[in-house]
Amino acid sequence: MVSAAMIEPPAEGFSDPVLDAAECFRVILGALATPGTPMRLPRTVAAPDALGPEGAALALTLMDFETRVWLHPDIATEAVVRYLAFHTGVVRASEAGAADFAVMPIGAAVSVLPTLVVGTADYPDRAASAILLTDGMDGGAPARLSGPGLAAPVDFAPAGATSALWSVLRENAARFPLGVDCFFAGGGAVAGLPRSTRIESGEG
Amino acid sequence: MTTPSSTNAGSPTGEDAPRKQWMAVLAKAPAKRVEALATAYLEGVADAVAPRFRVLRRPETGLVMVRGRAGGTGDPFNMGEMTVTRCTVVLERDGAAAVAGHAYIAGRDRAHATLAAKLDALLQTDGHHGPLMAALVEPLAREAEERRAARRRRVGATKVDFFTLVRGED
């Protein structure tokens, strides 16, 4: 072999990075504005398995070399790390508490979400955003969402959601205007859950 | 006098040195020459082994901050931005791992960037490395050296050495 380090090339990203990311951004914005409402992204990408097409599209749209991302150990496969480095140039945070974005399987969110940055009273916008990877937008423990963006309450039950998760997210919402904004990604759709949303689940 | 702080001031070293060398040659050679030599080479390749590429990063143009150091050793400072076009392609191979080829070229010639990326991928494969070095990289490197030598001669002919005479201070 001629070159010492022959590295497996990463999967493809957006075919038109500028326009595709802009179109996805519009949908992601809509997802945050209407919490708990699954939306289909207009563009998906060939993503590493651990990230999934929707998680990858979110990452390529939102992250760049000026943001820090923390990847849950289950997500931080070599393929994912190389994919994000090549397409976004994002910097990896060593711990969740130092990240602008945290990507995790939905099952890990209960332990990870409380460790994320929630912003400060002067700069609530400096809070982290969490990307929760799920298998789909139904089948999990349900929660009733209401608040800004929702004319009427909606029921949201992404696969893998538990009452423990909703309780953590309720505590997150209670800190408003501080707190973490969440995205659920997977199963062909993304949904947003900003810190401003009120959450009621079966456990009260 | 300023020189760039990166390694391109001299010859690259380290295990990636050969690749840096050919990437530099391909990036700095005139686009037309690269294209002429590459076309000639690829026409000679049998159809059965004609390389198949897919584009991983379309050629895109942006700005890169070039940093310098006063005298080559002083504190780094931002010298200015230059326009750079980059491209990444993947060479698909039957029965072997795919190879990524990268190119960063000065200016905004997307065709040049794409071609240089393809050639970088080919140059990493055993089958194409030798013939391509001989048919393309070495001639281009020689031409670049000739251009540099010609420029040195042209500039050298008008060289003036400044020195200060001791003045009598009356």
Question: Does B135 reach chain A within 8 Å, measured CB to CB?
Answer: no
- Closest Cβ opposite residue B123 in set A2, A7, A15: A2
Closest-CA residue in chain A for B20?
A3
Residue A5: predicted pLDDT: 52
Residue A127 DSSP symbol:
-
Within 8 A of A16 by CB-CB distance, chain B residues are 58
Question: Does B61 reach chain A within 8 Å, measured CB to CB?
Answer: no
Neighbours of A126 (CB within 10 A): 12
Residue B11: predicted pLDDT: 63
Q: Is the peptide bond before A177 cis (omega within 30 degrees of 0)?
A: yes
Q: How far is A188 from chain B (nearest CA, A)?
A: 23
Under-70 pLDDT residues of chain A: 1-6, 202-204
Alpha-carbon span A159 to A139, nearest angstrom: 5
Pair A18, A2: CB distance under 8 Å: no
Host domain of residue B67: 2-6+14-133
Q: How far is A62 from chain B (nearest CA, A)?
A: 18
Domain for residue B106, yes or no?
A: yes
Residue A202: predicted pLDDT: 64
Domain for residue B114, yes or no?
A: yes
Higher pLDDT, B94 or A175: A175
- Closest Cβ opposite residue B124 in set A3, A86, A87: A3
Residue A138 DSSP symbol:
S
Q: How far is A125 from chain B (nearest CA, A)?
A: 29
Alpha-carbon span B57 to B103, nearest angstrom: 10
Tokens of A75: 């997500």
Alpha-carbon span B98 to A11, nearest angstrom: 11
CB contact under 8 A, B57 and A1: no
Domain for residue B59, yes or no?
A: yes
| DSSP-derived 3-state class of residue A106 | helix
Q: Domains along chain A? A: 17-201 (3.40.50.11310)
Q: Name the residue type at position A36.
A: G
pLDDT in tens, B49-76: 678 899 999 999 999 999 998 887 888 9
CB contact under 8 A, B16 and A10: no
- Tally the domains of chain B: 1
C-alpha closest to that of B105 among B122, B119, B91, B125: B119
pLDDT in tens, B118-139: 999 999 998 899 999 999 999 9
Going across the sheet that includes A150-156, the strands are: A150-156, A143-147, A198-201
Residue B136 DSSP symbol:
I
Residue A137 DSSP symbol:
S
Q: Does the CA dihedral A76-A79-A80-A82 come out positive or negative?
A: positive
Domain for residue B67, yes or no?
A: yes
Measure Cα distances from A183 to A125, B8, B42 in Å.
16, 44, 48
Alpha-carbon span A196 to B76, nearest angstrom: 46
Within 8 A of A4 by CB-CB distance, chain B residues are 15-16
CB contact under 8 A, A2 and B97: no
Measure Cα distances from B41 to A152, B34, B69, B121, B141 in Å.
67, 10, 41, 15, 16
Residue B77 DSSP symbol:
E
Domain for residue B140, yes or no?
A: no
Tokens of A151: 């004319």
Alpha-carbon span B46 to B121, nearest angstrom: 18
Residue B10: predicted pLDDT: 53
- Closest Cβ opposite residue B56 in set A4, A5, A12: A12
Overall average pLDDT of the B42-49 stretch: 74
Pair A81, A92: CB distance under 8 Å: yes
Neighbours of A119 (CB within 10 A): 18
| DSSP-derived 3-state class of residue A103 | strand
Residue A156: predicted pLDDT: 96
CB contact under 8 A, B97 and A8: yes
Domain for residue B26, yes or no?
A: yes
Closest-CA residue in chain B for A5?
B16
Within 8 A of B97 by CB-CB distance, chain A residues are 6, 8
Whether the per-residue pLDDT at B7 is higher than 60: the answer is: no
Residues 6 or more apart in contact with residue B3 via CB below 8 angstroms: B9, B68, B69, B72
Residue B9: predicted pLDDT: 44
Domain for residue B152, yes or no?
A: no
CB contact under 8 A, B56 and A9: yes
Domain for residue B147, yes or no?
A: no
Q: How far is A8 from chain B (nearest CA, A)?
A: 7
C-alpha closest to that of A140 among A174, A184, A182, A183: A184
Closest-CA residue in chain B for A16?
B58
- Calculate helix-pair angle for B138-156, B17-28, nearest 10 degrees: 70
Residues 6 or more apart in contact with residue A143 via CB below 8 angstroms: A36, A155, A156, A157, A161, A166, A169, A199, A200, A201
Tokens of B127: 């089958």
